[in-house]
Amino acid sequence: MLARLRESLGMPLSAVFGLALLGVPRVVAHDLRLASPLVNSLLVFVPIAVWLAVVLWLRVPNAFRTLLIVGVIYGVLLGVVHQLLWTQAFGGAAPSLGGNVAGVLAPAAEGLLLRAFAFLSSLVTGVLVGAGTGMVGWVIAKAVPGFRKH
């Protein structure tokens, strides 16, 4: 099973996880407000450029599929790190529902709901980043003969 997955992705699963982990420093820096806008931009775009470069360099069978999986794993990591740093990210004042739904739910239920939506949002973000980067990789691999699998 793992051999088939490795063959399908064109790289070991550990490398896929390693690529996804490249995005974690940005999440930590963002949640803890450690990075300037310039550094934050670098932490956003350098890992994605590395994902793309590695996939093209390895000439994986399907850049879209491989980078989509990297993105899914990145989304899970993003969600987990946001959950772990939740209190620090909000300075001890967790967000709450507003408008017509303010105070409708018990505080614990409201917190659980907000955390669940934050995790889902992280997962969607990871999938979209992976899919977008994968589409770029797929187009480059098809358009440039040197990046095609032999």
H-assigned helices in 12-106: 13-21, 24-31, 37-58, 63-84, 86-89
Helix axis angle for 13-21 and 37-58, nearest 10°, is 160
pLDDT digits (tens, 9 = 90+) for 57-93: 999 999 999 999 999 999 999 999 999 999 888 887 7
SS3 at position 114 = helix
Residue 16 lies in a domain: yes
Residue 110 lies in a domain: yes
Residue span of the structural domain in which 16 resides: 9-93+106-147
Residue 60 lies in a domain: yes
Instruction: Return the structure tokens found at 94.
Output: 């967790």
- Output the pLDDT for position 148: 66
- Output the pLDDT for position 150: 52
pLDDT digits (tens, 9 = 90+) for 89-111: 888 777 877 877 777 778 788 88
Average confidence score pLDDT of the chain: 91
